[in-house]
Amino acid sequence: MTQPLDELSFETQLVHAGERAGWPTGEPTTTPIYTATTYTYDSMVEVDRVFAGEERGYVYTRYGNPTVAALEEAVRLFEKGAGACAYSSGMAALHAALLACELEPGSVILASQDLYGVTLQLLNTVFAPFGVKVALVDLSERERLWAAARDLRPRAILVETISNPLLKICPIDVCAEVAREVGARLIVDNTFATPYLCQPLELGADFVVHSATKYLSGHADAIGGVVVARDEADLLALRGVVKTVGGVLSVWEAYGILRGLKTLALRMRQHCENARRVAERLASHPLIRRVHYPLLVENERETAARVLRALSGGGLVSIELKDGSREAAFRFMEALRLCVRATSLGDVFTGVLHPATSSHREMSPAQRAKLGISDSLIRISVGIEDVTDIIADLEQALEKSMR
């Protein structure tokens, strides 16, 4: 393609990014799967230059691979960053982004209290034992956010664009302003939003993290993670983590995720439209105590208007049953006929998860209660099926949950 991709629409970029990067003969129309672990050259001078980064090329797949590089370039383009680095999972990617912030004993990570449960584990069981201090803050309380940042002078601020599982929208623009004032690096986990709904680097973030397992792949058949950096200078640290820690993304996974990206815009439009209709329908259901969905809450709508693509609240809906018990939640999930009981999200099918026994099970009941994660909370990753079929399945399961 001769026309620069950054001059084309997002939807067109999704189809062509990472492809036809330049081949000696017979250029393939899609990126091949390069299974080779090593690469050879006629000249040792060339090898030396590639090792040094002075010349484009590959020597060992832990250092780089053409299939993986195609995925990295595609996600870099979508997030409008200086560069991207892929990893074996979303957690490996998040770990790398934190390491790139040059944390040391005494450094502070200021994090949203509404993070994925395993992310909190990473902070408390991997970084804290090495003397890194972790402080949690409610991002909806802006005065406390500012006060905590000015008092603690964090090295890194960690947030999620859309929180897991209560689906709160992060005021990324405000967090970026806070980070700039106190000299912190802002890391945004953009997994739930994807670059289709939000591009955090444009709002002032330093790093964007994706669990590519979710919406980027979209088909429940690949695990991976990606970090996109705003500044090219951060790429050395990000790639250094892959080389030394070894969280290398498989070429097969890279190929699957790159293929999934082609339909991201189409899928996200349907995910979001279906989620809106599910949320609006369930909001008045007599067996539901509360529906968590950004566009149903006034202050969340205001933040979403600044952070997300217009009139979009994402593809997830969380509900709390009026019964309030874990038993009712289990009965509801076991009664589902179409929706799939699955511990992930962002797939083409509708997936349903019970946070208290999955994503946040390592927390104590008191900790979950403090965050608003009740035993009857259920997270629904709304798929791209016909929404009337999704709603019918949810409603029949609700009726059975009360028996």
User: What pLDDT sits at residue 1?
Assistant: 45
User: What pLDDT sits at residue 73?
Assistant: 97
Q: What is the pLDDT of residues 220-271, one digit of tens each?
A: 999 999 999 999 999 999 999 999 999 999 999 999 999 999 999 999 999 9
One domain for residues 62 and 78: yes
One domain for residues 256 and 127: yes
pLDDT category of residue 2 using cuts at 50, 70 and 90: low
Q: What is the pLDDT of residues 94-104, one digit of tens each?
A: 999 999 999 99
One domain for residues 131 and 245: yes
One domain for residues 333 and 268: yes
CATH number for the domain including 180? 3.40.640.10
What is the Cα–Cα distance from 262 to 127, expressed in whole angstroms?
Answer: 36
One domain for residues 217 and 291: no
User: What pLDDT sits at residue 269?
Assistant: 97
Domain closes at, from 227, 261, 295:
261
What is the Cα–Cα distance from 14 to 22, expressed in whole angstroms?
Answer: 18
CATH number for the domain including 285? 3.90.1150.10
Contact of 207 with 102, CB cutoff 8 Å? no
Contact of 153 with 108, CB cutoff 8 Å? yes
Average pLDDT value for residue range 209-221: 98
User: What pLDDT sits at residue 22?
Assistant: 62
Q: What percent of the chain has pLDDT over 70?
A: 98
User: What pLDDT sits at residue 359?
Assistant: 87
300-332: b or e for each residue (b if 16 or more CB lie within 10 Å)? Answer: beebbeebbbeebbbbbbbbbbbbeebebbbbb
One domain for residues 270 and 257: no
One domain for residues 254 and 333: no
Can you list the positions of beta strands (E) in 101-247?
A: 108-112, 133-137, 156-160, 185-189, 207-211, 225-229
One domain for residues 250 and 280: no
User: What pLDDT sits at residue 332?
Assistant: 97
Q: How many domains does the chain have?
A: 2
pLDDT at 398 over 50: yes
Contact of 194 with 57, CB cutoff 8 Å? no
Q: Which of 325, 247, 256 is nearest to 86 (CA)?
A: 247
pLDDT category of residue 24 using cuts at 50, 70 and 90: low
Angle at 275 between CA 274 and CA 276, to 5 degrees: 90
One domain for residues 318 and 219: no
Active site residues: 62, 116, 189, 214
User: What pLDDT sits at residue 33?
Assistant: 95
Domain closes at, from 242, 261, 280:
261
One domain for residues 25 and 170: yes
Domain closes at, from 217, 245, 261:
261
pLDDT category of residue 17 using cuts at 50, 70 and 90: confident
Average pLDDT over the chain reads 94
Q: What is the pLDDT of residues 146-203, one digit of tens each?
A: 999 999 999 999 999 999 999 999 999 999 999 999 999 999 999 999 999 999 999 9
What is the Cα–Cα distance from 71 to 89, expressed in whole angstroms?
Answer: 14
Q: What percent of the chain has pLDDT over 90?
A: 84
User: What pLDDT sits at residue 377?
Assistant: 97
What is the Cα–Cα distance from 136 to 134, expressed in whole angstroms?
Answer: 7
pLDDT category of residue 23 using cuts at 50, 70 and 90: low
Higher pLDDT, 19 or 201: 201
Domain carrying residue 88: 5-261
One domain for residues 273 and 363: yes
pLDDT category of residue 304 using cuts at 50, 70 and 90: very high
One domain for residues 172 and 85: yes
Residue 86, helix vs strand vs coil: strand
pLDDT category of residue 121 using cuts at 50, 70 and 90: very high
pLDDT at 122 over 80: yes
Residue written as token pair 């369930």: 282
User: What pLDDT sits at residue 4?
Assistant: 83
Q: What is the pLDDT of residues 314-364, one digit of tens each?
A: 999 999 999 999 999 999 999 999 999 999 999 999 999 999 999 898 888
